[in-house]
Structure 1
Amino acid sequence: MLSIVLVIILLMLLIGALPTWPYSADWGYAPGGIIGAIFAIVLVMALIGRV
């Protein structure tokens, strides 16, 4: 149950960090890349049963 909640929260953060709004155009790929990497790690850990 915890892993599903964690994956959903990280997915929402990843969508929120995408530079699609005018004020976030100068951010580049850093927020989305960092959160995407964390999301990938947590997703793999959830699939193998470590979380």
Structure 2
Amino acid sequence: MIWEWPKVYCRAIDLSPDLSAETSAQHIVAELHDPNRYLTEVAYGSQGRVTLVSIPDR
């Protein structure tokens, strides 16, 4: 998406179904205010907030 629409910012947010509606809403609002535009996907679950990390192939 980032390459197709360079002027549009988009972030995917994966939320655990175990989270309450209120907690899910708080996480979504937090992501709206996150200034890091390099993150394109985050997830919230039992481990808290997690993001993708690339690791070199060995």
Q: TM-score range by the shorter chain?
A: 0.3 to 0.5
**TM-score normalised to structure 1 length:** 0.32
Which protein, 1 or 2, shows the higher relative CO under an 8 Å CA cutoff with sep ≥ 6? 1
Whose radius of gyration is greater, 1 or 2? 2
Question: Hey, which of these two has a bigger chunk of strand by percent?
Answer: 2
**TM-score normalised to structure 2 length:** 0.29
